[in-house]
Structure 1
Amino acid sequence: MDLDQLRYFQCVAETGNFTEAATRMNLSQSALSRSIQRLEEEFGQPFFERKPRSVELTDAGVLFQRSATQILRIVEDTQAEITDDGETGKIRVGAIPTIAPYFLPDLLKQFSDAFPRSHLIVHESTTEELLKKIKQGEIDIAILAEPVTEKYVEVRRLFAEELVLLLPPGHRLCEKKRIRLSDIEDEPFVMLDEAHCLSDNITTFCREQSVWPVAVENANQLATVQELVSLSHGVSMIPEMARRLDQCDRRVYRSLGKPRPSRTIVAVTNPYRFHSRLFAEFQAKLVGYSKTFAARPST
């Protein structure tokens, strides 16, 4: 057994498909299959249950995957520690979809300009998936919104931002100087689907004020929510960072009266993984950038 076999095994386990795994690993499917077969013969157990179009881990495969993950993680951390020069290396950054396109671009550019020999890799996914990747060592840091209830991770608060009310043009509330949550109590809401924590942020805030928003439509992307509101499908609440980048004149944004809805942006890391000097530089840049970002005036 060698490290390449472990990597091949992990890829097949992640993709659930030999063809896709072979493509990712730049191997022929037959070579990948032979490697997995030798591994299974060495341990005397099948690690995968072969199906017509996919494979699934057997009980032995699940057990082996745990050990393979630990071994590869130790090797990766050791390599990173040995080659740590504070200038080169790979940093894997995760972020949820309601943060990534609005917060990351300038941050990544600033860091790349300061450390041109670094390599930044972005993973955009849901909170649940990113926390899983943090714990498994697949990413180095995740930019999320509270609450984060996962154990054995380190959570650092970055800043809080307002959730602003989004209205279609011509809505009865557009001319009102002060809008209260009770004013939109009976309005239909356009929300992100349940996989996105922003919906939880909005629902929790409303229920704390004894208001129960009725979602008439759900979308997978924030841009879709904005478009549906533009078409008078309902109202919504949008993070301030998304409002800043919206140049469309078919949408109206308003702040709600106090208490105003908000969310807190946090950085999540795995304290049990080795973190390079380059990663420490990224964290410092992230903290400084967050302060500047939060202080930007609304447009």
Structure 2
Amino acid sequence: MEVDQLRYFLRVAERGNFTRASEELMISQPALSRSIQKLEDELGQPVFERKTRSLALTDAGVLLQSRAQQILTLIEDTKAEISDDGHTGQIRVGAIPTIAPYFLPDFLRQFSAEFPEATLIVQEETTDKLLHSCTQGEIDLAILALPVPARYLEVEELFQEELLLVMPPEHPLVEKTQIRLADIKPFPFVLLDEAHCLSDNIVSFCRQRSYHPVAVEHTSQLAMVQELVSLSHGISMVPQMARERDETNRRIYRSLSGTKPIRKIAVMWNPYRFQSQLLETFKDRLRVYTQKRKKQQK
């Protein structure tokens, strides 16, 4: 039984499809099928139940999936521990799309300057996918917004940031010196798709105050939300970090009066995986960076 066979098996099990798995593994589908067949021959029974359009794990496949994940985790952690010198190595960082392009670049530049021999790999995904990747050891840590249903994962809050109301320059609310939540009720919203937790933050804040925002448009990127607002398709709320990156004069940002909408940013990792010296240093630098950020915003 070879390590690559286990990796191939796990990818097919995760995707439930040989075609998608072969594309991601960058090997031909016949080669992938032969590898799985060889594995099944060695085990003496099938690990997949072949259906017309999908695959399902057999009882043997379910057991092998659990064992294969443990074996590959042990191999990867052993390699990392042996080569752990605190300066070299790879750190796989995950972040949700409403954080990655606004928060990470400056921090990663600083870390790379201090540790030039380290390799940083960034994965931008939704919260659900980051939870899965972190649990499976596909990434070393993730930066995302609370709350998260993180079973068996360590979660540490880094900072809070305000969600700011964003409007086109000609919007009637622009002239108001103070904008209350009641003032925005008549106006339609542009929101991110439901897969993004930022929309949950916004809707939850409004619902707690007996108001449900009406979304006229949904999009998958925060930058597109901002563009649609500038085109007068609606208003929205965006994180402070996105506002800091917005240098255009085609949008106006305002802080709501009274209780302000916020989101909590946290770092998450799997405490059952080996934590290299470099990874621990990365987390320490991240804490220092966020503390400086908070002081600068006061």
Aligned counterpart, 1:270: 270
Aligned counterpart, 1:169: 169
1:42-57 correspondence to structure 2 within 5 Å: 42-50=42-50, 55-57=54-56
The RMSD of aligned alpha carbons is: 1.9
Aligned counterpart, 1:199: 199
Structure 2: where are the runs of 5+ without partners? none
Alignment deviations for residues 151-193 of structure 1 (CA, whole Å, 9 cap, x no partner): 2211111011010000112111101111111100121111111
SS in 2 for 1:259: coil
Letter aligned with residue 182 of structure 1: A
Letter aligned with residue 287 of structure 1: R
Aligned counterpart, 1:258: 258
Moved more, 166-175 or 17-26: 17-26
Letter aligned with residue 90 of structure 1: Q
Letter aligned with residue 40 of structure 1: E
Post-superposition offset of 1:51? 5.9
8 Å CA contact 1:99, 1:144 repeated in 2? yes
User: In structure 2, do the counterparts of structure 1 residues 27 and 185 end up closer, same or farther at CA, with 3 Å as the change threshold?
Assistant: closer
Letter aligned with residue 159 of structure 2: F
- 1:107 equivalent to 2:107? Answer yes
Q: Normalising by structure 2, what TM-score?
A: 0.93
Moved more, 41-50 or 258-267: 41-50
Whole-Å separation in 2 of the counterparts to 1:205 and 1:191: 14
Whole-Å separation in 2 of the counterparts to 1:48 and 1:217: 42
Post-superposition offset of 1:61? 2.4
Structure 1: where are the runs of 5+ without partners? none
Post-superposition offset of 1:16? 4.2
Q: Normalising by structure 1, what TM-score?
A: 0.93
User: In structure 2, do the counterparts of structure 1 residues 78 and 181 end up closer, same or farther at CA, with 3 Å as the change threshold?
Assistant: same
Whole-Å separation in 2 of the counterparts to 1:281 and 1:197: 28
8 Å CA contact 1:161, 1:294 repeated in 2? no
Aligned counterpart, 2:57: 58
Aligned counterpart, 1:144: 144
Post-superposition offset of 1:56? 2.0
Whole-Å separation in 1 of the counterparts to 2:28 and 2:259: 59
8 Å CA contact 1:48, 1:55 repeated in 2? no
Alignment deviations for residues 30-61 of structure 1 (CA, whole Å, 9 cap, x no partner): 43322211101111222234467x65232232
Letter aligned with residue 95 of structure 2: A
Aligned counterpart, 1:226: 226
Letter aligned with residue 124 of structure 2: E
User: In structure 2, do the counterparts of structure 1 residues 63 and 55 end up closer, same or farther at CA, with 3 Å as the change threshold?
Assistant: farther
Whole-Å separation in 2 of the counterparts to 1:288 and 1:204: 30
8 Å CA contact 1:158, 1:290 repeated in 2? yes
1:169-188 correspondence to structure 2 within 5 Å: 169-188=169-188
Post-superposition offset of 1:14? 3.6
Letter aligned with residue 57 of structure 1: A
